[in-house]
Amino acid sequence: MSMFSSFTKVAAGFLMSASIVAAAVPAIAADYTKDNPMKVALVLHGTLGDKSFFDDAAEGMKAAEADLPVSVKIIELGYDRSKWEAGLADAADSGYDVIIAGTFDMTGYITELSPQYPDVKFIDFDDTPDFSKCECKNVLGVQYTTAAAGYLAGYAAAKISKSGTLGTILGMEFPTVTDFKTGFDQGAKAANPNVNILNAVAGAFNDPAKGKEIALAQINQGADVVFPIAGGTGIGSLQAVKDSGKLAVGVDSDQATIFAGSDPAQAEVIFTSVLKKVGNSLHQALKATIDGTAPYGTRQLLGIKDNAVGIAKNQWYEKLVPADVRAEVDAIEQKIISGEIVVATDMK
Amino acid sequence: MMDIFLTVFSATFFVTIIRTTTPLLLATLGGLVADLSGALNVALEGMMLIGCLTAVIVSVYAPWYVAVLAGLGVGGLLGAMMAFFAYRLKADIILVGFAVNILAAGGTVFALALATGGDKGTSINLQSQAIPAVDLSFLSAIPGIGPILTAFLSGHSVLSWLAAFLVFAVWYFLFRTPWGLWLRGVGEYPGAPEAAGIPVAKVRTWSLVVSGALAGLGGAQLAMFNYVGFTRDMTAGRGFIALGAVLLGARHPVGALLAALLFGTFEAFAVVLPGLFNWMPAELIRMIPFVVTIAALVLFSIRAQRALAMRGVK
Amino acid sequence: MALLEAIGIGKTYPGGVVANDGVNLVIEPGEVHAVVGENGAGKSTLMKILFGIEQPNAGRLVLDGKDVSFAGPRAAIDAGIGMVFQHFSLVPSFAVYENVVMGSEPRQGIRFDRKRAIAEVQALSDKFRLKVDPLPPVSSLPVGQQQRVEILKALYRNARILILDEPTAVLAPQEVQELFVAIRSLVAQGKTVIFIAHKLPEVLEISDRITVMRQGKTVGQVKSSEVTEKSLAALMVGREVTLRVDRKPTDQSKRVAEVRGLRVVNARGTEVVAGLDLNVHAGEIVGLVGVEGNGQAETLEAIAGLKPIAAGDITLSGEAINGLPVLDRRGRGLASIPEDRISEGLATGATVAENLVSTKLTDRRFVRSGLLDLKAIRDNATKLIAEHSIRVGGPGYTVGTLSGGNMQKVVVARELSEQPKLLLVNQPTRGVDLGATQFIWRTITDARDKGAAVLLSSADLSELLALSDRLLVLYRGRLVAAFLNTPDLTPETLGTYMLGLSTQTAEDMKPALR
Amino acid sequence: MSNVPAIDKSIRFKAFRQEVTRSVGALVIALAVTTVIVFLTSKAPLDALTQLFTAPAAKTRTIGLWVDDIAKLTLTGLAFSLVFQARQFAMGVQGQVYIGAIAASFVVLSPIGTTPFGLAAGVLAAMAAGAFYGFLPGIAKAKLGANEIVSSLMLNYIAIELCNFLVRTSLPLPQAGVLTTVDFPEQSVLPALVANTRIDLGLIFAIVAVLVVWFALYRTSWGLKLRLVGHNARFAEYSGIKSTFIMVSAMTASGALGGLLGAVFVQGQTWGKLTVQFEGGLAFEGILVAIVARSRPLAVPIVAIFYAYLRQGASLMNVRTDVPAEVIGVVTAIIILLVSSSFSVNFVSKLFRRAPAAAAVQSAAK
């Protein structure tokens, strides 16, 4: 009994301190210092360790903590959808200044919660609320035109493909996923009008064995460059590419670099990755928040020129992609930035 | 249409089927041993999953065969735990089985996080190893059929060969050794072996241990060959499909092999079909094994009823 | 020196039931030693202790002059003790030889040497003249053969001492004689036999010495040659008991039930009832005689509606009831006391009150518009508990807490709480003590006296002879003989027909087929 | 499952006390294990434990989550209790939840949904669909002898995939490719009982369901028949009870409860729309609730109260501290193992006792 009551005391203490902090949320951005940092929660509707999307966001938080007066708590809600809303609400209720959550899975909850917590700022990355329909003055939507980066990777892939057959593997079909492919297909066709692009939908983001089988099937059907856009499922596809000695395009983060330490052979086949620089963009958004320049209440659509998307130009890119192709890719990149080439996108 | 034929009759597709079948077959054999000893092992799923994780983690620090043995061992251990609760503490074995599954679903993620220093999704931070494939490319030296033999027989996992051997071994054990006689006797009418001085509790316990070990071996194959590494819930219902395969296979090792092959083929189809039939929704393809299990269950039961009816019993 | 001695054995079960309390038993080598006592006297517990299934709380076992203790059957078997249970411990789908050698298989490396097993079983069967074929699955064998498979099992394990637990209960008189021949041949070849029974004539015939048990204690050891059936019975129950029921003369003119051309086929496709005709009249008890498994149980189940029939007609009070479900048949006045009360006659996990109304859930007294009248159900139970003197704490106790006799009383109370037109009874007193037996016999006879037509099947010929007005003998699902129950009808006469050794002509049967 | 007499009060009390002692014992052991795990894994174990034990009751919002879980766990616990009482090990509640939710979604997203009958129509459609889905393995078992455990498990997977498929292809979505339908019309959403919490009409449904199931089991002849079938199907058959009918009707009724839970999920304040994988495995946790409650309907909500607290505590501990929510899976497994076994509070002595010898022979030799 005594043990229990001591718990209650601790809890009461915790709650009290939390409410004091909540009451003392400073309105003026300049107040934040290293000793009185802006309190940020990165709420992931999943877990860390996906080696792409969520991990990249977490990397961005680390970078932000290094050079900004922020303290970040990463909250992993897991894969039980019925707990996501509750988890986000709990974060909003726990005295954070900024809550970061991503994708359309969380947008609805952000839309509902933001009017209830007007003093808390919300960053909705990789999706956006419909600002015409909601009272979301404290929400910042951050979206990425990944099609443009996909275009670059598709161009390079078609150029280095010997068979003229490419494979794409989607985890599921929704715009943030298909946008990669939309750009990739355009780029590939631009490089080689006769290119044959195989496509498969795995139906899951967490079935690597299946991702591996699908990639093997595509390779068997002639594909020599595979582009999995499928989270954990895609990790399996990369393994198939490694085993078959073909080439792959990574997704979201620089996957070759991620594998370099634990599995160098895996890194050797990923000639580039289509980067959705989530971490980088969030880092920027936090900086802008502290500066007071972040356009809350609107959506930001970030592209190549914002350094929010792109392809990884690392040592493997240098090694596996011939210099002339690299030069062409750089030229195209400039044309996209200048608007000379317009890449169709699924992001509206 | 041509595409399908080419794909289906290709050596690669055959190799794919063997690969998808192997973990299923091992788990099915495990389910069979438990079933014949009188216990429906609904924990195959959980045992496989824990087998996956154990094999992956051990393979980081030890040679692949030690990791495979670890997967097998942990499965056996879980079987012993089930036996303890079911036979010693008289818990219902179905409920114990589900407890193991729940333990596996949460426990593997938890243990993975501990092993990787925080990753709850995949084990790619761990340098886990693969089970080697058996290279029979020397067969292509045989004139004529050599290349075909190589295409079909080379490149399978060591455990695929082992699984094929285990079909025979389990059959031999069940129907040609005294212990197989004991096990089947215990499953059919425990009073008889008990009266003959056979330690029934021990036979049952060992059956579950073997059952778990085979499921764990299936897990090792899944996490060290089909895909090298662990991700949460990576068994994705294979343990339950194996349970269906036991019933479908008429509780016989050869039947188990055929049933596992059937489901393995469906799984392989599910991989190949989207490449060929983009119109076919992935969800419906994924339903196939479950629908087939139910259909098989119903057909088998209808056949059993018909057989009775033919003999004049309504 | 005694071969096997049990000294001061005590056994108390976890529930507090004292099964053995200072039991002493001395078995001499080469004798047939009977252990007799009422049901519940503790015979079975003692045998389980001798065979290592139970461990005693007190006392010791001495074998060949040395103290022994058996941790399990295996240890007892290794010490040369074999046991044949009343309910056989055979795996139905296994062949005879597999059942015999299971647990002590001849091996060749890790392989089970089946050829040697078959040969050895054949040799053993020949040596002791048991006439058992090693190859067929035991489920295809008649009961007497199955019993010999059990004996072979013990002999195969080199049993020096063979314990037979009520071996004659399931056998026809002629089969009993064959068994006794086999037992004598065993003794002649140096084996010792412990024989548990409660049928005293058989005991006196086969045994050399007899140990009598009563209420968990041994009350005496006697030489068979020095006692009579009567003195032995007195020793067993502690008082003089006569198991006799008086039956009133009744009006037996009204035909209540008719069965015509009944055919029943079992799950394996064998015909178990083959064109049976019979009638039962109000106020009479018709006994179905036969070795178990000759169609009696199936006949009763078919009439009750529990087993589908392949052909034939069944009428009750002139109306065909062939296709009717169980409940409708019951509604027309059919009641049934099944063979196995625990697996069929009761829900042991449910309360006494619930068990007592389970067959009356369409009765408006207990159920109205689908709702239970709990008070009526409880009152019904209280009344029946008193009427049948069921020993139970109250209507709310679960049936599983009762003794076998009291469980059977619950069944009887439920089935006879209303006067049935047709009462089907199968093995009403199996495993029930003498007191309860008497009570159950009385109750059945009362139902008859009040005008019920009763169809009775029992493995106990003395029960059939004590209760029946007419006796019909079944052999392989056919009617082979019919008798009016007269004082000169003997078990041996019935036995001839039970084993199919002879068949009455239609003319012979006629007087007893009304 | 239940061997408690419905009539005699003193015995019922005694058995009740025994059960409570056992359940509490299991809970204490499971919590002790949790504490050990937390101390081993957490950098701030006291904080984690504080969250686990106090957080659910600390705020209106969290109390709302707790009560919502109670309602849902009660419904799934009842659904499992019904089939367990009939001695069927059907595991199909999860599938029924999905099928029910799908049916409710189709109804409320049709024009009916915006009428005043939308709410009721959705709930009834869900119950009917769930009942049908429960009926399937029941009839397959009754008519063909198809193993209900396996068939119901397979039906679960099929229902989940069907939900994924229909959400993606056949139902109106807010934007293409999103795995969630548009919000249901207001008329079809269960109204909140306490504003701004998840406590909604589902709680009332759960309470009514408890009473209805209790009444059906202990006060109707159907219930008595069902329990008799559960105790001994052969005996029930012999008594003239159509055990197959009772079995199938029990599984169908359980299916209706599962379907109702589906409607409470998607039409409730939690979602108010259909989404893939909306139940997060809660349906299966009804097994635990039913086991600990020994399948007795009145005990189900009591168990649900405790378990829901633990469940929410774990998820808040996960959100606020460094201990992952998966710990609760371990705790759940331990509770199931301990409560379903003949474990007693003097567990340790039992661990070292010899195995009870030769139970099989005793039954063979009876």
Give D216-264 as a DSSP string.
HHHHBHHHHHHHHHHH-HHHHHHTT--HHHHHHHHHHHHHHHHHHHHHH
pLDDT of residue D1: 36
Note whether C touches A: 3 CB pairs or more under 8 A: no
Q: Two tokens at C262?
A: 């009944």
Question: What domains lie within chain D, and their CATH numbers?
Answer: 64-309 (1.10.3470)
Query: Does residue A189 sit in the same domain as residue A209?
Result: yes
CA-based nearest residue in chain D for residue C327: D240
Give the C-alpha separation, A287 to A305, whole Å. 18
Chain D residues in contact with B244 by the CB 8 A cut-off are 150, 154
Q: Which residue has the higher pLDDT, B221 or A4?
A: B221
Query: Does residue C342 sit in the same domain as residue C398?
Result: yes
Query: Does residue C197 sit in the same domain as residue C291?
Result: no
Query: Does residue A133 sit in the same domain as residue A217?
Result: no
What are the pLDDT digits (tens) for C415-434? Answer: 998 889 999 999 888 767 66
Strand intervals (E) in B158-278: none
Tokens 């529990």, located at residue: C306
Q: Two tokens at D277?
A: 């994988």
**Quick one: which of A216, A111, A227 has its CA closest to A161?**
A227
Chain D residues in contact with C17 by the CB 8 A cut-off are none
Band (pLDDT 50/70/90 cuts) for residue B253 is very high
> How far does the CA of residue C352 sit from the closest CA of chain D (Å)?
9
Kindly determine whether residue D46 and residue A10, on different chains, have CB atoms separated by under 8 Å: yes
SS3 C27: strand
Q: Two tokens at C176?
A: 């009993």
- Read off the DSSP letter of residue C512: G
- B143: containing domain: 2-310
Q: Which contiguous run of DSSP H or E holds residue C165?
A: strand C161-165
Q: Two tokens at A290?
A: 């502290």
Q: How far is CA B145 from CA B13, B16, B151, B156, in A?
A: 18, 21, 10, 18
Q: Which residue has the higher pLDDT, C131 or D92?
A: D92
- Which CATH number belongs to the domain containing residue A235 in this structure? 3.40.50.2300
The answer to whether D255 touches D92, Cβ cutoff 8 Å, is yes
Residue type, A241: V
Q: Which residue has the higher pLDDT, D20 or A237?
A: A237
- Residues of chain A with pLDDT below 50 are 1-29
Query: Does residue A171 sit in the same domain as residue A248?
Result: yes
Give domain status of residue C230, yes or no.
yes
- Which CATH number belongs to the domain containing residue C208 in this structure? 3.40.50.300
Kindly determine whether residue B227 and residue A208, on different chains, have CB atoms separated by under 8 Å: yes
Query: Does residue A135 sit in the same domain as residue A228?
Result: no
Give domain status of residue C119, yes or no.
no
The interface residues of chain D toward chain B in range 24-43, judged by CB-CB distance below 8 A, are 41
Best residue of D167, D294, D336 to probe chain B, by most B CBs closer than 10 Å: D336
Give domain status of residue C447, yes or no.
yes
Give the C-alpha separation, A197 to A221, whole Å. 11
Chain D residues in contact with A89 by the CB 8 A cut-off are 61
Query: Does residue C60 sit in the same domain as residue C205?
Result: yes
What are the pLDDT digits (tens) for C300-314? Answer: 999 998 888 889 999
Give the C-alpha separation, C293 to C474, whole Å. 10
pLDDT of residue A182: 94
The answer to whether D313 touches D52, Cβ cutoff 8 Å, is yes
Which of B99, B105, B290 has the CB atom closest to D157's CB atom? B290
Chain C residues in contact with D235 by the CB 8 A cut-off are 343-347, 358
Query: Does residue A214 sit in the same domain as residue A332?
Result: yes
Give the C-alpha separation, B126 to B112, whole Å. 10
When the pLDDT of each residue in chain D is averaged and rounded to a whole number, the result is 85
Query: Does residue C306 sit in the same domain as residue C417?
Result: yes
Query: How confident is the model over C109-127, as a mean pLDDT?
Result: 92
Query: Does residue A259 sit in the same domain as residue A166?
Result: yes
Chain A residues in contact with D58 by the CB 8 A cut-off are 11, 15
Kindly determine whether residue D234 and residue C343, on different chains, have CB atoms separated by under 8 Å: yes
Give the C-alpha separation, B57 to B71, whole Å. 10
pLDDT of residue D319: 84
- Which CATH number belongs to the domain containing residue B302 in this structure? 1.10.3470
Query: Does residue C233 sit in the same domain as residue C303?
Result: no
Q: Residue C230: is its pLDDT beyond 80?
A: no
Q: Within an 8 Å CB–CB cutoff, is residue A141 touching chain B?
A: no
Tokens 């290592």, located at residue: C52
Query: Does residue C220 sit in the same domain as residue C336?
Result: no
Kindly determine whether residue D89 and residue B305, on different chains, have CB atoms separated by under 8 Å: no
Give domain status of residue A344, yes or no.
no
pLDDT of residue A313: 93
pLDDT of residue C87: 76
- A259: containing domain: 147-276+313-338
Chain C residues in contact with B185 by the CB 8 A cut-off are 91, 94, 102
Kindly determine whether residue D360 and residue B301, on different chains, have CB atoms separated by under 8 Å: no
Percentage, residues of chain D above pLDDT 70:
89
- C502: containing domain: 280-310+321-512
| Domain count of the fold of chain C | 2
Give the C-alpha separation, D74 to D205, whole Å. 10
Query: Does residue A291 sit in the same domain as residue A272?
Result: no
Give domain status of residue A266, yes or no.
yes
Query: How confident is the model over C158-179, as a mean pLDDT?
Result: 84
Give domain status of residue C454, yes or no.
yes
Give the C-alpha separation, D35 to D24, whole Å. 16
Residues 6 or more apart whose CB falls under 8 angstroms from that of C233 comprise C200, C240, C241
- In what side-by-side order are the strands of the sheet with C66-68? C18-27, C4-12, C58-63, C66-68
Q: How far is CA B151 from CA A249, B143, B146, B268, C334, in A?
A: 28, 14, 9, 17, 73
pLDDT of residue C285: 94
* CA quadruple B279, B280, B282, B283: dihedral sign: positive
pLDDT of residue B311: 53
Domain boundary, last residue among C241, C267, C299: C241
What are the pLDDT digits (tens) for C395-411? Answer: 888 888 787 778 888 99
Query: Does residue C292 sit in the same domain as residue C236?
Result: no
- In what side-by-side order are the strands of the sheet with C319-320? C271-281, C255-265, C311-316, C319-320
SS3 B77: helix
Give the torsion through C-alpha atoms of D314, D315, D316, D322, to 10 deg: 80
pLDDT of residue A27: 43
The answer to whether D167 touches D176, Cβ cutoff 8 Å, is no
Q: Residue C200: is its pLDDT beyond 50?
A: yes
Least confident range from A98-112, C23-37, D339-353: namely: D339-353
Q: Two tokens at C194?
A: 């412990």
When the pLDDT of each residue in chain B is averaged and rounded to a whole number, the result is 86
* CA quadruple B304, B306, B307, B308: dihedral sign: positive
The interface residues of chain A toward chain D in range 261-300, judged by CB-CB distance below 8 A, are none
- Residues in B whose CB is inside 8 Å of some CB of C read 176-178, 180-182, 184-185, 188-189, 191-199, 308, 311-314
Q: Which contiguous run of DSSP H or E holds residue A200?
A: strand A196-201
| Domain count of the fold of chain B | 1
Give the C-alpha separation, D239 to C415, whole Å. 10
Kindly determine whether residue D364 and residue C89, on different chains, have CB atoms separated by under 8 Å: yes
Band (pLDDT 50/70/90 cuts) for residue D24 is confident
Query: Does residue C478 sit in the same domain as residue C376?
Result: yes
Give domain status of residue C128, yes or no.
no
pLDDT of residue D337: 84
Query: Does residue C367 sit in the same domain as residue C501?
Result: yes
Q: Residue D2: is its pLDDT beyond 60?
A: no
Give the C-alpha separation, A102 to A143, whole Å. 10
D192 forms beta bridges with: D200
The interface residues of chain D toward chain C in range 206-225, judged by CB-CB distance below 8 A, are 218-225
Q: Residue D45: is its pLDDT beyond 70?
A: yes
What is the per-residue DSSP string for A128-149? ---TTTS--TTEEEEEE-HHHH
Band (pLDDT 50/70/90 cuts) for residue D92 is very high
Chain D residues in contact with B98 by the CB 8 A cut-off are 91, 284, 287, 336
Residue A287's CB is within 10 A of a number of other CB atoms, namely 15
Residues 6 or more apart whose CB falls under 8 angstroms from that of D43 comprise D322
Strand intervals (E) in A239-341: 247-252, 270-276, 299-302, 309-311
Give the C-alpha separation, D96 to D130, whole Å. 5
* Burial of residue D32, with CB atoms counted within 10 A of its CB: 0-12 exposed, 13-18 middle, 19 or more buried: exposed
> How far does the CA of residue A27 sit from the closest CA of chain D (Å)?
25
Chain C residues in contact with B194 by the CB 8 A cut-off are 73, 89
Query: How confident is the model over B226-245, as a mean pLDDT?
Result: 87
Query: How confident is the model over D174-182, as a mean pLDDT?
Result: 78
Residue type, C504: Q
Neighbours of chain B (3+ CB pairs under 8 A): A, C, D
Which of C91, C153, C308 has the CB atom closest to B188's CB atom? C91
What are the pLDDT digits (tens) for C209-219? Answer: 999 888 788 88
Exposure b/e, D240-251, CB count within 10 A at least 16 = b: bbbbbebbbbbb
| Domain count of the fold of chain A | 2
Exposure b/e, B7-39, CB count within 10 A at least 16 = b: beebbbbbbbbbbbbbbbbbbbbbbbbbbbbbb
Kindly determine whether residue C72 and residue B199, on different chains, have CB atoms separated by under 8 Å: yes
